[in-house]
């Protein structure tokens, strides 16, 4: 028999990959290193406040790996790139969840989130990737479309070595410890910044005029990671600290307003910084210029909403935007006011079917196990103190927020009107797989926890009625 080999789990590959990406980004983007320090001190302050924070975090307050990146984002040019990225991320336990149509916000891309599935994987390492694919079908300028697709068709974003390793890992269904270091370095190489464009300054400018995203995707040798995102325990304090330190944050925190029980996802970022780029010319000469693409982001997550809760969220968000389209602090005030209509405690959110919860038996429930009347509903068991609930954290993204993040980094010229609509089927064809439904994942987790809790109380799941 061959000497024993050590195999590495997908969670461990993801942890190593995201650590390498973080190191590279910190080195290449100094303001991101500053942001890390800022968030660390904001988080330390928040932790020192203690109790209020513990209440707000509830069961979602997993503090392990607080300083690990929560996500990164890239933009791809072709179906081939996307389908290989899907295979690559699968080796890291990252799977496509959700479809995000950004055409509605004037952006010629559609996206998915490659993320860990299940509480255990998320706890092992929370990193995920928001991945967008260029939609040339939304670019009306035919000449620009042709030139952009010629540029993208010429580039090779994966090294032959990476493709060979990927093939082998897929065939063997496992990754040997001795090769994982090389594998994650080769993978991180895809997303590195390159300060030499593939297009002349003239072509870059022309594509930028057509749409700034088109230039960002088509004029470079690879899909540079455009931001990494840290978790903050107090995003309002972090936003204020970014302002105070002159870090040029975006004007508004995306997502819901500050609440006692956080819902969904709140995000903000410092704006992308212009970086020097060499634009080549056919005769070997070239021109020095700049390109602004890279920024740093922070996020704060809350409880996942049901379809009903999400509909209420979308409506209140749209109302606030309509009340103050100018944005800034006035918009944040309008938002707070509108969201007074959204219940702000776990009992109400759960009872009204607005958010997803993880059920567990209480000690008292376990003492009574076997003696409880078989016909009691989950809500009654909760009220009687035999069951408890903890929020299930939202692990996905929000299209309106994502559009806000994109746009604040593309400048005013990022706000366009595009003729087009969502095309999930085309996205899945490019991906070579279907995307998972995020609501179904949360609903399953809730249902599983309720069934296990009822069994622990000596009650068969069929005898009680979970809410829809
Ligand atoms: C992705 C923006 C979306 C988020 O956190 O909503 C995103 C991009 O700019 O490519 O990362
Ligand atoms: Ni992001």
CA of 7 to the centre of ligand 1 (A): 33
pLDDT value of residue 464: 47
Average pLDDT rounded to a whole number, residues 160-187: 93
pLDDT digit string, tens, across residues 400-417? 999 999 988 887 665 677
pLDDT value of residue 49: 82
Share of the chain above pLDDT 70, in %: 93
Share of the chain above pLDDT 90, in %: 79
Instruction: Output b/e per residue, 223-232; b: 16+ Cβ within 10 A.
Output: bbbbbbbbbb
In short, whether 406's Cβ falls inside 6 Å of ligand 1 is yes
pLDDT digit string, tens, across residues 311-354? 999 999 999 988 877 778 888 899 999 999 999 999 999 999 99
pLDDT value of residue 177: 87
Mutate to test the pocket of ligand 1, among 71, 73, 110 (most ligand atoms within 8 A of CB): 73
> What CATH number does the domain located at 7-304+400-432 have?
3.10.180.80
Is residue 167 classed as helix, strand or coil in its secondary structure? Answer: helix
Instruction: Check pLDDT > 50 for residue 299.
Output: yes
pLDDT value of residue 461: 64
Q: Specify the DSSP class assigned to residue 386.
A: S
53: confidence class by pLDDT, cuts 50, 70, 90: low
For ligand 1, atom 7, the nearest C-alpha belongs to 402
Half-sphere exposure of 271 toward its Cβ, with a 13 Å CA cutoff?
17
The atom of ligand 1 lying closest to the CA of 109 is 10
Q: Given the structure tokens 């929020």, which residue do they identify?
A: 391
CA of 182 to the centre of ligand 1 (A): 28
CA nearest 369: which of 386, 389, 385, 382? 386
Residue 409 and residue 226 in contact, taking contact as beta carbons nearer than 8 Å: yes
In short, whether 14's Cβ falls inside 6 Å of ligand 1 is no
The atom of ligand 1 lying closest to the CA of 254 is 6
Beta bridge partners of 358: 390
Q: Given the structure tokens 């969220």, which residue do they identify?
A: 313
pTM of this prediction?
0.94
In short, whether 267's Cβ falls inside 6 Å of ligand 1 is yes
In short, whether 84's Cβ falls inside 6 Å of ligand 1 is no
Instruction: Check pLDDT > 90 for residue 284.
Output: no
Alpha-carbon gap, residue 55 to 299, rounded angstroms = 18
Mutate to test the pocket of ligand 1, among 111, 133, 406, 408 (most ligand atoms within 8 A of CB): 406
Dihedral angle at the C-alpha atoms of 255, 259, 264, 270, nearest 10 degrees?
Answer: 40
E-assigned strands of 43-200?
71-76, 95-101, 109-115, 128-134, 175-176
- Neighbouring CB atoms inside 10 A of 418's CB total 17
pLDDT value of residue 4: 57
Residue 329 and residue 283 in contact, taking contact as beta carbons nearer than 8 Å: no
Ligand closest to CA 272? 1
Q: Given the structure tokens 């010229």, which residue do they identify?
A: 413
Ligand closest to CA 403? 1
Average pLDDT rounded to a whole number, residues 42-63: 69
pLDDT digit string, tens, across residues 198-240? 999 999 999 999 999 999 999 999 999 999 999 999 999 999 9
Mean residue pLDDT of the chain comes to 92
For ligand 1, atom 2, the nearest C-alpha belongs to 402
Helix (H) or strand (E) holding 361: strand 357-361
Instruction: Check pLDDT > 50 for residue 467.
Output: no
Residue 313 and residue 305 in contact, taking contact as beta carbons nearer than 8 Å: yes
Query: Where in the chain do CATH 3.10.180.80 domains reside?
Result: 7-304+400-432
- DSSP secondary structure letters along 233-273: S-HHHHHHHHHHTT--B-SS-BSS---SS-BSEEEEEEEEE
pLDDT digit string, tens, across residues 62-113? 667 889 999 999 999 999 999 999 999 999 999 999 999 999 999 999 999 9
Alpha-carbon gap, residue 392 to 449, rounded angstroms = 11
For ligand 1, atom 6, the nearest C-alpha belongs to 402
Q: Given the structure tokens 């089927």, which residue do they identify?
A: 425
Instruction: Check pLDDT > 50 for residue 57.
Output: yes
The atom of ligand 1 lying closest to the CA of 398 is 6
In short, whether 158's Cβ falls inside 6 Å of ligand 1 is no
52 Cβ neighbours under 8 A, 6+ residues apart: none
In short, whether 73's Cβ falls inside 6 Å of ligand 1 is yes
Weakest-pLDDT range from 50-64, 219-233, 356-370, 444-458: 50-64
Q: How far is CA 75 from CA 72, 82, 218, 270, 468, in A?
A: 11, 9, 10, 19, 37
CA nearest 266: which of 346, 335, 348, 342? 335
Instruction: Check pLDDT > 60 for residue 10.
Output: yes
Bridge-based pairing of strands 227-231 and 71-76 is antiparallel
In short, whether 132's Cβ falls inside 6 Å of ligand 1 is yes
Alpha-carbon gap, residue 124 to 363, rounded angstroms = 28
For the chain, give me the number of helices (H) and strands (E)? 19, 11
- DSSP secondary structure letters along 113-154: EEE--SHHHHHH---EEEEEEE-GGG---HHHHHHHHHHHHH
> Which phi and psi (to 5°) does residue 388 adopt?
-130, 165
**CA–CA–CA angle 424, 311, 399 (5° rounding):** 45
In short, whether 112's Cβ falls inside 6 Å of ligand 1 is no
pLDDT value of residue 5: 65
| Rg of the Cα atoms in the chain | 24
Alpha-carbon gap, residue 256 to 253, rounded angstroms = 8
CA of 91 to the centre of ligand 2 (A): 22
380: confidence class by pLDDT, cuts 50, 70, 90: very high
pLDDT value of residue 173: 85
């Amino acid at each position: 028999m061959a000497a024993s080999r050590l195999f590495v789990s997908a969670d461990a590959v993801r942890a190593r990959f995201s650590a390498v990406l973080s190191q590279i980004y910190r080195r290449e983007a100094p303001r991101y290193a500053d942001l890390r320090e800022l968030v660390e001190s904001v988080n330390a302050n928040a932790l020192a406040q203690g109790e209020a924070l513990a209440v707000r975090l509830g069961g979602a307050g997993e503090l392990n790996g607080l300083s690990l990146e929560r996500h990164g984002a890239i933009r791809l040019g072709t179906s081939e790139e996307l389908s290989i990225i899907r295979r690559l991320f699968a080796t890291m336990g990252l799977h496509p969840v959700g479809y995000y149509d950004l055409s509605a916000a004037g952006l010629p891309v559609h996206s998915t989130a490659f993320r860990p599935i299940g509480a255990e994987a998320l706890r092992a390492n929370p990193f995920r990737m928001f991945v967008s694919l260029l939609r040339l079908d939304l670019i009306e300028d035919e000449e620009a479309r042709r030139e952009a697709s010629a540029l993208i068709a010429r580039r090779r974003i994966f090294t032959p070595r990476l493709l060979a390793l990927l093939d082998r890992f897929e065939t063997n269904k496992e990754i040997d410890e001795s090769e994982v270091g090389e594998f994650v370095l080769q993978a991180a190489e895809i997303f590195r910044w390159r300060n030499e464009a593939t297009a002349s300054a003239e072509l870059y400018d022309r594509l930028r005029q057509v749409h700034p995203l088109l230039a960002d995707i088509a004029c470079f040798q690879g899909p540079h990671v455009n931001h990494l995102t840290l978790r903050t325990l107090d995003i309002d304090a972090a936003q204020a600290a970014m302002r105070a330190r002159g870090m040029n944050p975006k004007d508004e925190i995306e997502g819901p307003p500050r609440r006692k029980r956080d819902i969904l996802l709140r995000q903000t970022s410092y704006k992308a910084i212009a970086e020097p780029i060499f634009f080549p010319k056919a005769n070997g000469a070239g021109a020095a210029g700049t390109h602004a693409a890279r920024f740093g982001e922070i996020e704060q997550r809350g409880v996942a909403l049901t379809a009903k809760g999400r509909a209420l969220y979308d409506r209140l968000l749209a109302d606030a935007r309509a009340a103050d389209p100018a944005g800034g602090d006035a918009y944040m005030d309008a938002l707070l006011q509108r969201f007074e209509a959204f219940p702000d405690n776990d009992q109400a959110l759960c009872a009204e079917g607005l958010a997803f919860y993880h059920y567990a038996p209480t000690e008292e429930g376990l003492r009574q196990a076997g003696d409880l009347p078989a016909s009691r509903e989950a809500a009654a068991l909760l009220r009687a103190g035999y069951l408890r609930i903890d929020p299930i954290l939202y692990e996905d993204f929000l299209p309106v927020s994502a559009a806000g993040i994109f746009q604040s980094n593309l400048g005013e010229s990022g706000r366009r009107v595009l003729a087009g609509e969502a095309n999930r089927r085309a996205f899945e064809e490019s991906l070579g797989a279907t995307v998972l439904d995020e609501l179904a994942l949360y609903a399953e987790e809730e249902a599983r926890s309720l069934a296990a809790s009822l069994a622990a109380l000596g009650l068969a799941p069929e005898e009680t009625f979970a809410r829809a």
